[in-house]
Amino acid sequence: MADENCTRVTHFTLAGLTEHPRLKPVLFALFLGTYILTLVGNLGIIVLVRVSPQLHTPMYFFLSNLSFLDICYSCTISPKMLLDLSEKHRAISFAGCLMQFYFYVVFGTSEVYLLAAMAYDRYVAICSPLLYGVVMSPGLCTCLVTGSYLAGMLNAIIHTSTLLQLSFCGPHVINDFYCDGPALFVLSSTDTWLNEVVMFVFVGFNLTTTNLLIVASYTRIAVTIVRMRSAEGRRKACSTCASHLATVMMLYVSFVLMYLRPSSSSAVDEDKWASVFSVVVIPFSNPLIYSLRNKEVKAALRRLLRRKMCP
C-alpha cells in the first residue's frame, strides 16, 4: 500500500542518452535522419504493396503490416527522443509517460506475434507450395494479423494496469530516453516485486510462444530444403527466409537483453543502448532488409517508377 503522506509525482524527467553537449547535436542529426528514412522506407513498402498487383500475396500482406507496426513503433518513441536531444528540460507528464509505455508495448508485442505469423507463412509456402493458396487464405491472414494486434493490446493493458498500482513519491528522473517498465520500477516508492514477476512471466511467455512457433516452422523448412534436389530451389528458399530470420534475431536479442533479467540501476544503463537498437535501428533496417534482398520488391519498384516516368 502506498504511504498516505506520499506526494505523488505528476511528471517525470527523462535522463536521455547523454549529457555531453557536443554529442547531442550529432545524435540529433543521426537519429533525425534515421527517423525520416524509417518513415519513408516503411511507408514506401506499404504503398508499393498496395499498388502492385504482383505483391498481393500473403507474404507481402504480412510485410505491409510489419512496416505499419514499425512506423507506429518508431513514432511512439523517436519524436520525444529528438525533442529531448534539442532541449534542456526533458519533462513528460505522468499520463504521457503511461501512454507512451502503453503504445510501446502494444506495437512491440504485436510485432513479435506478426513475425511468428510470417514464419508460418514461409513454412506453408516452402513445405506445402501446392496448398499455399488454400491454406493461407485471406481470412486466415486477416485473423493472424488481427490476433497479433489483440495480443499486443492485451499485453499492454496487463503491464499498464500493474504499473498504475505503484506509487512514485521520490525521485522523478527516469534513467532512460523513454518510459519503460524497468526504468520506472527503479523510481517506485513501493515494492515492485509483483511488477517484475508479471513482466518476466508475460514477456517470457510471449517470446517463448512465438519463438517455438518460429523454431518449429524453420525446422520443417530446413528439412524440406535439405531434401530438395534442385540447387536453385534451395537457394531461392534460403533467400526467401533470410530476411525474416534477420529481423527475428535482431528483435528477439534486444527484447531478451531489455526484459528477461531483474531491474537495477546498472542494468537500466546497459538497457539504454539495447533500446536504441530496438526502437531506432530495427524499424529503420527492416525496409532495407526486405527490399534490397527481395527481387519481387525491386521489380515492382522498377515497374512503378517506369509508370510514373513514362505515363
What secondary structure letter does DSSP report for 23? H
Residue 201 located in a structural domain: yes
In a domain, 311, yes or no: no
Max Cα-Cα span within the chain: 74
Q: How far is CA 241 from CA 246, 294, 301, in A?
A: 9, 10, 21
Has residue 133 been placed in a domain?
A: yes
Mean pLDDT, 10 residues at a time, over the chain (311 residues)? Answer: 62 83 88 94 91 88 94 92 84 91 94 94 91 93 96 95 86 85 85 89 90 92 86 79 83 70 52 78 84 72 70 57
Provide the grid cell at 300. 515492382
Q: Is 1 within the bounds of a domain?
A: no
- Is the residue at 190 inside a domain? yes
List CB contacts of 241: < 8 A, sequence separation 6 or more: 122, 126, 218, 221
Beta bridge partners of 92: 12
Q: Look at residue 292 in the predicted model and tell me its pLDDT.
A: 64
pTM score, two decimals?
A: 0.88
What CATH number is given to the structural domain containing 232?
A: 1.20.1070.10
Asked if residue 308 is part of any domain, the answer here is no
273, part of any domain: yes
How many distinct structural domains can be found in the chain? 1
Domain that holds residue 161: 11-303
Nearest to 296 by CA among 253, 245, 251, 243: 243
157 part of a folded domain = yes
